[in-house]
Structure 1
Amino acid sequence: MSPSSAAAPARTPRLVATDLDGTLIRTDGSVSAYTASVLAELDRRDVPVVFVTGRPLRWAREVFEYVGSHGLAIVTNGAMVWDVATDGPRLERAIQPDVALSVASTLRESMPDVLFSVETVEGWSVEEGLVHGRRIAPVRVGSLEEILAGPVLKLMARRDGANPDEFVASAVELVGEVVEVTHSSFPLLEISARGVTKASTLAMLCEDLGIAATDVVAFGDMPNDLPMLTWAGLSYAMADAHPDVVSCASRLAPGHDDDGVATVLAELLGL
């Protein structure tokens, strides 16, 4: 496939679902003025935009100003739906602590050098020994048992030097029947409760809104977007996406540094 402005689908999209990093957001972390203007026009036309991201709430908030009054956010790979307009949770789908601890223990038995961190409603917690460089300090640093004391939105496993795709494949063999395992960048496993993906949560949200999958257009760039791109009636991989995503999506959009999402939406909706 190549970036193109193919003819509009039989149904004009009623909802837009887009990943953030590597998709809507540029490499420098910004949202361009052009993309912001297209999203604002969608809001004026009552077309809801749903940010569907692996980012936790605390990090996704940085771009909530662009989602519009009709906007919603699915964060931490489907573990939470956040209503941006009311600034409150709409749905939580957490991993129970005993399941998270069992999964972490199984992974560590096979890969002793793996280190864990977790995202919860309260924030980010890390296992002792995990070096982090985030702007926001973790709310807790402790033993594996201590950071897994309550419900977990996302369990993350880091193994420096590992090949990301191979790391995921090994983890799926070990715990794939118990939890969902994916990744979105460097060798960092992103683990959610069984059945919790960007797609499954988006499907639940769309059912509440009375919107069918055939009326959804979705955009993504990394393996954690694959379920969503498969589910949506029309899907776009970014031009610089992971090869598996390019193979999966219906069409190809220009790259994220070239305002690919906004360019496609302008064409599809005749903006």
Structure 2
Amino acid sequence: MTFSDIRLVATDMDGTLLNSKHEIHESFFPVFRKLKERGIIFVAASGRQYFNLTKTLDRVKDEVIFAAENGSYVVFQDQEIHIQAIDQEIVKELILKSRNIPNTYPIICGKKKAYVESDEPEFINHLKLYFERYEIVKDLTEIENDQFLKFTLCDLAGSEVNSYPHYKHYEESLQVKVSGPIWLDISHKNANKGKAMEVLQKKFNVSFEQTMVFGDYLNDLEMLSKAHYSYAMANAHPDIKKIARFIAKSNDENGVVEVLSELTD
């Protein structure tokens, strides 16, 4: 196997393709152009909202496949490829549980927009980084006219130690992912970035050996298992480094672009 066989590249965004300021390096775009010239499919796989991802990659949005909300919503050129919503009654249960956990702010990640109850400034500043469309409502349990792609907690006390233990027992029936230092994501059992990769590999007839992926956090675990060329960032969570075959330089050292430059040389 060589780089010349690669047909599909997927990368996480925060902590991976984006630097610590949540910016994309200018050197990405000429490398992206070379990928497209070689007919390589490029996937932005993120816990971010679809509308936020299209804004972040606005210059190339019509040439990128977006696996948004941790793979719950896969879209190309505004056409849905895959959607895996979570039952609304389950989401209501998750919301009620969150109200007993201090320093947390629940978010319903709907297909139309995100929904939150709080306008607390620190929380809203975090929210705006990842959600382009959102609405502040009085009661999240009353939201009905949307498909729920994911339930998320912004946990300012630290998701791995504060909120995750309260939801860990749901892991048998749902996807429960610590997706960042202050983020906990809960989705349908069949919704994850790995499932999104399976859908795309089947659709485009791409093999495990022809796939390259990059990730840094626990919501990337399944995606890394779907590619021979699996890269953990130097800044990745220890559990990601354990399962990845390769290590890329950190997101602040432009590690993804460095590897892709080798791929396109």
SS of residue paired to 1:232 = coil
Q: How does 1:58-137 map to 2 (within 5 A)?
A: 58-65=51-58, 67=60, 70-83=63-76, 86-106=77-97, 108=99, 111=101, 114-128=104-118, 131-133=123-125, 134-135=127-128, 136=132
Query: In structure 1, which of residues 254, 257, 261 is the aligned counterpart of residue 256 of structure 2?
Result: 261
SS of residue paired to 1:184 = strand
Q: How does 1:1-271 map to 2 (within 5 A)?
A: 9=2, 12-65=5-58, 67=60, 70-83=63-76, 86-106=77-97, 108=99, 111=101, 114-128=104-118, 131-133=123-125, 134-135=127-128, 136=132, 138-147=134-143, 150-161=146-157, 163-167=158-162, 169-267=164-262, 269-271=263-265
Cα separation, 1, equivalents of 2:118 and 2:90: 20
Per-residue CA distance 1:140-173 (angstroms, 9 max, x = gap) = 4121312366421110123332x43234651453
Equivalent AA in structure 1 for residue 159 of structure 2: P
Per-residue CA distance 1:120-139 (angstroms, 9 max, x = gap) = 11111102476422445732
SS of residue paired to 1:235 = strand
Q: Which runs of 5+ in 1 are unaligned?
A: 1-7
RMSD: 2.4
Cα separation, 1, equivalents of 2:133 and 2:40: 36
Q: Which runs of 5+ in 2 are unaligned?
A: none
Cα separation, 2, equivalents of 1:94 and 1:17: 22
Cα separation, 1, equivalents of 2:58 and 2:86: 29
Provide TM-score, normalisation by structure 1: 0.85
Cα separation, 2, equivalents of 1:112 and 1:51: 33
Are the counterparts in 2 of residues 39 and 66 from structure 1 also a CA contact under 8 Å?
Answer: no
Number of residue pairs matched by the alignment: 259
Runs ≥4 residues deviating over 6 A: none
Q: Which moved more, 1:222-231 or 1:127-136?
A: 127-136
Per-residue CA distance 1:175-225 (angstroms, 9 max, x = gap) = 112210112223321111112100011111210111112210100111111
Cα separation, 2, equivalents of 1:242 and 1:224: 10
Judged with a 3 Å threshold, the aligned counterparts in structure 2 of structure 1 residues 32 and 106 are, in CA distance, closer, same or farther, namely closer
Are the counterparts in 2 of residues 167 and 187 from structure 1 also a CA contact under 8 Å?
Answer: no
Percent identity of paired positions between Structure 1 and Structure 2? 26
Are the counterparts in 1 of residues 34 and 264 from structure 2 also a CA contact under 8 Å?
Answer: no
Are the counterparts in 2 of residues 118 and 148 from structure 1 also a CA contact under 8 Å?
Answer: no
CA drift of 1:103 comes to 3.2
SS of residue paired to 2:160 = helix
